[in-house]
A and B are shown apart, each in its own frame.
Chain A
Amino acid sequence: MRSRPRPPPPAAADMSALCDPPGATGGARVPLSAQELSQEVKAFLSGLDPAQGTPLSPAAHARCALRLLRCLPPARHAALQHLRGLFDEQVCAHLLQREAGAANAASAASPGAEALQEARRALAELVAANPRAWAPGVAAWASELMGQLSSKYAGRPGVPPAASLNELLQLWMACPATRALLDIYSQCLAAMAGSCPDACVDALLDTSVQHSPHFDWVVAHVGSSFPATIISRVLSCGLKDFCAHGGGGGEAAALGDKRAPKMASVVGILGHLASRHAGSIKQELLRMFHESLGSSREHHKATVPFLLQLALLSPALLATVSAELVDALQPPVLNQLHQHFSALPRDELEATAGVAVHLLCHASAGALRTLRFLLATAAPASVIAAPGPALREGVREACERLLQLLLLHLQKLVHGRGAAGPAEAGARPVPFLEALRPHVRELCQDALRLERRRGLWQQQLLALLAVHSAPHGAAEALFFLLALARTPEELALAPQLRAGLRAVLPDPLPAAVAAAVAQIHAGRLPEPQLAQLLRNLALLLQPREPDGEPGEPALGAALARHLPDLAQLLLHPRAEVAEAACRLLAACPLPRALPPAHLLPAVRAAVRRFFAGLRQGDAAAPAPGARLLARLSAVSPAAAKAVLAQLVEAALGGRDAELFGGGDAEPDGRDGTAAASTAAPTAASLLDDNRRLTAGPNAAGGVWSVFHAGVIGRGPKPAGGTARRSAEELSRNTQAFLSLVLRCCRGTGPAVGAEAAKAVAAALVEAVCPEAAGAELAWPPEELARATVERDLRILRRFRRHPLLFPLLRLVAGGRPALCYCSVLLRGLLAGLVAHWDACRAGSTAASPWHLRASCALVALLAEGSLLPPVLGNMHELFPELAPFEVHLLLLSVWGYLRDNSPLPQKFTFQPRLGAFRRDFGRDADLGKHLAVLHSVLHRNIHRLGRLAARFYP
């Protein structure tokens, strides 16, 4: 049996082969004999060389310690303790060397430094050989020593302050001793990372608590080397500690770092890592959260308070998690949470809720989602449950309570902040509200849904947000409420909000209007919404009672300030918008003193709007435009003049003339087909575009897209002359137009104002015969009419093409003596008619119906305008019964009368009793010679005209 082969060499050899890094010699070293070991212990303890009895050098002493570390297990703690001295000494030496400068930096190979490297190697070997046995102890030793060293040398002149982490890291990493320690620690952690690094991390945390600011560089370095391990372990250690310290929510929050000392360092470490490894931290935190649910273990119960606490202490962590957490809170999770918390005592719950609310206030990432989640959970949108597990009633109640607390807390923050003084108003923003600021629009949209309780909360929040971000935020919120409301009920929110805000802020309405205008200018509002906004504003301006004051005087004033901007909207290509703008402006009180630069574009735009209304063919469509123009004209006489001039110009010129049955009045005298072609509704018009250009920056289209043959992208111009309006339509349009002009002319009084009529007259002349605008009013001899034949013909053609002219002139005639100013037109017309009848060889005047009608109308006009005395003025009644040459003669006599009694305004006198001008024909020259022709015609046709004879014998 003795002869059996001896067992293979000790398994230690195998083990070392397995675990030792290449080059490690720990396993192969010949163990010291008992005697030698005893000597070593003696030498180590006494510090004396056993042979000579002389003191050992520090390096030799350290080597002695290392030998003991390798060979004498019970002495390992003592050896490690001794090695502290070595490291300390080396750090000190390094710092001294650093202070002395880089000159003698080369002398690094001192015996101490060598011993240090030996120690590092020895420890590395031991840890590598058996990590489970060595790593925890060595890690604790290394981290504690690093902590001590960092604290000890923190105040040294060469050492940067604790705040500058990078410099500190640089310094200590350059120092061989601390570098070695850090390497050793890292090796321990790496060796244990697979199995159970808790002990190593615990040591790190403990040291971190003890030597907090000075030790941060270690944590930073280790943390970024082992993010996964450190993050999860740091969290689990923190949780364990939190549980051990009885981490109840409230008291721990109040006492902060005293109750949970590791908390601070956990927060510090994670905060440091958050910048680089936010993703893993977030994942880890969420994992913890999910793991804690559904588990009844004690430390899982504390997880949620722990996470809350953690977030409370570190805004960075809060920011990482808050955005994602909401997504995780699905109904099953919420139910679990509810179950989890329902067991807690009341005051603890209160405290937790308090912490949660505080956190909500300080969470900025994903604030909107969080808010929506809370609202949706507290007041579910529909009673029909979503698929999946149903929420418990308790969850809903809890959420409701949380929401109320949140609002209360926000209110305190917001108003407390305001009370601190306006100077510091911006100093302490509430992150939650700050984060909601960009989402005012969504919030307003939500609030406008007016969902039961939810709506109330949303309104409160909106008000808080507005106050918080005043003044812009308030204006913005108000603006969105105004722009997004669709029904009167929804629209009521805006005044409600405003009323709330006015209690604490200056009236936000002007700013809101300004914001709205800015948004419009920027083109940020889609068209339907823009129209809605305008309609809403108009609605607010409507008087409450039918004849009461305008609804919101402040709103009116604010809007009036932006008149030019709003006026521009009248020209909006989209009819809906333009009409809404028109209604708004019509409801808007206009300021007394409107500068012409604002007024004229507005008038022009309003006129365009009016005609656009007419064009729609709807009887009610032009009403707002008419109302607006009437209001504009009421602003000042000048405004009235401008309105009239524009109206007349537009009605007689351009494509709107066809509304009244007129053709185009192009001066070059194209025939009717050409006029009709422009009158056809084209989508783009150079004139319109130009108008818009003058009114403000142009938004759509562009003048350059209009070409001779059509608009690019819209096909060729349609052939003209297709659309003819029915007589009924024409008369209706004419009626609408005339009544508008009449309203504008009338001003405040019942009758047509002289000035207004004069303006219309001037406009008429300008429109019909611009070249004769400056012509004298006095009537020339008939012969002279030959000189102006061409002009007269053109005037005649004009009258023929524009049926509207006669009614307009009638209107002018009503405002005596304004018709005088039209004398050039009258003259031209009269001359034209005279020439016609002179040349007419027909048997009856009925052969030229238009000329007959025109002659009658002209004479009637002249009579109406008091340019002819009543006897002469009645003669048009005869015209249909006469032969053309007789009419010719009669008209010549009219000419003669007018030649003798020129139609001058001076002949009219103001009669204060009537409030109007009158002409006294008695003062004129004898009427007799002008009546002779008339009487002879009467006589000649007495068989037919006998019944009328009485009218011509005054």
Chain B
Amino acid sequence: MSGVPVTPRAGPPGGAAGGGTARPRLSRAGRRTAAPLRGGRGERGRERGRERDRERDRERSGAMSDIRHSLLRRDALSAAKEVLYHLDIYFSSQLQNSPLPLVDKGPTDLLEEFLFQVPKERGAPPKRLTPLQELQLLEIMCNYFQEQTKDSVRQVIFSSLFSPQGNKADDSRMALLGKLVSMAVAICRVPVLECAAFWLQRTPAVFCVRLARALVDDYCNLVPGSIQTLKQIFTASPRFCCQFITSVTALYDLSSDDLIPPSDLLELIVSWIFEDPRLILITFLNTPIAANLPIGFLELTPLTGLIRWCVKAPLAYKRKKKASLSNGHAPNKIAKDSASGEDRDCHQLYSKLHLSVLQVLMMLQGHLTEKNLYGRLGLVPFDHVVPLVEDINRLSDELNPLNASKEIELALDRLAQALQVAMASGALLCTRDDLRTVCSRLPHNNLLQLVISGPVQQPTHGALPPGFYPHIHTPPLGYPALPAHPAHSAHSVQTFIPGMTFPYRPIR
């Protein structure tokens, strides 16, 4: 993936926006947008003269090496600024020529050398930005993205800056990205957040998880009370919020005590989703859907992750409590009280979250149908359900069933509900037989038993064999799709959420 930061899956939206504009204008535009990059006000005139020279140079083949030489003489901060400036000019002109710019190696190398401080020559002492300079750089970058009017340029520059290249610059790249996004959250730079949302969409999940961790560290751990700052971005950039939730659920999978989401974070996410459950679907609704989801990227929706949270939470919290007790950290009374109070709060939050998830699943059917994806796109992939069930199985084995029967019951109830609703809404594509095999080893649960054995068949579908949901028999994509259950689908969903508005209409 080196050298091609723009993945085919999600091209820059509106990538062809600036197509057809004349070249001089663009260059002027580039100059204008580059203005915030240049720190020194007095040297602008001088810079302009040199810049013209450089523009000419760039048209020649060795342009990049010339720029490099000039940059080598500067100090770290001004070199970084200069690189950004050149990048801006470069991509502005590229975008003019073709809607999908090819990023060649030159600019990337420059970025790595001067922005991420990876020394090119062996043994050369790396120029490091001091924390103050770094903060200045961050501010400049925030301002740049804020003031850059062209979406496409912004997107291209962002992705050329922060797409992982699989080299040793990735660490400093991710660190800088973390700080930039964190800063953007704090001072509410929506364009940066939007870019970050897209970045999260087309970057391998491992990197997304790192960004999520950086943000969680900053806003949940480091500064008490700053979670409020993060909360505010719900109004600023729901798209980022959605992607953030997806990456956070990927990060905190409750597989160990460390990977239980901090209560602040949980509260934040629940409050977001509770406020507008369809936040979960924003990415899904606003993204052109490819037939097959690529592996190793974040999912389209955080649904799977959230189901996992809700289902596993009772067991995971129980395990944590047990571990801390067996460690001999018999907490004093006050701590115990407050901890159990916190746990109770968390259980309520999970309960609310579960409700929201179920609601979203139910409204999903309409959107799937609308997008003509009903029965063809499993937003809750069966492949992810299998490990979840296995996890529950293992956890309930681990915990003594006698002590944790309540928690096991709750987890299985939630699982059964989620499975049922997901299957019903077409988010989970599987047969009851598949489900039966997967869930066969779970402890007994009445509700789950019901779900596995199937509902009492509705007479309208007498033609179908019992235990099968009709969407399995919907025609494949391309066939004229008959609305399978008009009575069953849209309006029943609507009855669950009366008065729910859709502030974000799908773009297409």
Residue ranges of A at the interface with B (Cβ–Cβ < 8 Å): 1, 4, 7-8, 10-12, 14-18, 20, 26-29, 31, 34-35, 37-38, 41-42, 44-45, 70-78, 80-82, 126, 129-130, 132-134
Contact = CB atoms under 8 A, between A and B. Distances in A.
A71 B186 contact: yes
Contacts of A77: 131, 134-135
Contacts of A7: 267, 270-271, 274, 345, 348-349, 352
A15 B229 contact: no
B345 A11 contact: yes
Nearest to B181: A74
Contact of B225 (A16, A44, A72, A80): A16
B257 interface: no
Nearest to A34: B188
A98 to B, nearest CB: 30
A10 B223 contact: no
**Interface pairs A-B: 4 shortest CB-CB:** A34-B188, A73-B218, A77-B131, A78-B135
A37 B274 CA distance: 28
B348 A134 contact: no
Given A72-B187, A78-B132, A81-B130, 11 more contacts: A1-B355, A8-B345, A16-B224, A20-B224, A73-B218, A74-B138, A74-B186, A78-B131, A81-B132, A126-B222, A134-B222
A383 B335 CA distance: 63
Interface of B: 130-132, 134-136, 138-139, 178-180, 182-183, 186-188, 217-219, 221-229, 232, 262-264, 267-268, 270-271, 274, 335, 338, 341-342, 345, 348-349, 352, 355, 497
A10 B272 CA distance: 13
A3 to B, nearest CB: 12
A10 B224 CA distance: 10
Given A41-B135, A130-B221, A133-B221, A15 B348 contact: no
A41 to B, nearest CB: 6
Give chain B's interface secondary structure class.
helix
Contacts of B131: 77-78, 80-81
B225 A31 contact: yes
Contacts of B352: 4, 7
Q: Which residue of B135, B138, B221 has the most chain A CB atoms within 10 A of its CB atom?
A: B135
B132 A82 contact: yes
If over half of A's interface residues share one DSSP class (helix, strand or loop), that class is named, otherwise mixed; here it is helix
Contact of B342 (A4, A14, A81, A133): A14
Contacts of B224: 12, 15-16, 20, 26-27, 129-130
Contacts of B136: 45
A621 B130 CA distance: 101
B29 to A, nearest CB: 25
Contacts of A37: 186-187
A859 B356 CA distance: 154
Nearest to B232: A34
28 contacts: A1-B497, A7-B270, A7-B349, A10-B264, A10-B267, A11-B342, A12-B227, A14-B263, A26-B225, A31-B228, A31-B229, A34-B187, A34-B188, A35-B188, A45-B132, A45-B135, A45-B139, A72-B186, A73-B218, A73-B222, A74-B178, A74-B182, A74-B183, A74-B218, A78-B131, A80-B131, A81-B130, A134-B222
A11 B263 contact: yes
A133 B222 contact: yes
Contacts of A75: 135, 183
A147 to B, nearest CB: 17
A42 B342 contact: no
A45 to B, nearest CB: 5
Contacts of B341: 14
A643 to B, nearest CB: 91
B458 to A, nearest CB: 28
A160 B475 CA distance: 89
A7 B353 CA distance: 12
B228 A10 contact: yes
Nearest to B219: A73
B100 to A, nearest CB: 32
A12 B264 contact: yes
Contacts of B135: 41, 44-45, 74-75, 77-78
A10 B183 contact: no
Contacts of A80: 131
Contact of B179 (A15, A34, A74): A74
A152 B454 CA distance: 78
A13 to B, nearest CB: 8
A71 B232 contact: no
B186 to A, nearest CB: 5
B222 A38 contact: no
A42 B36 CA distance: 13
Contacts of A71: 186, 223, 226, 229
B264 A11 contact: yes
Contacts of B225: 10, 12, 16, 26-29, 31
B173 to A, nearest CB: 15
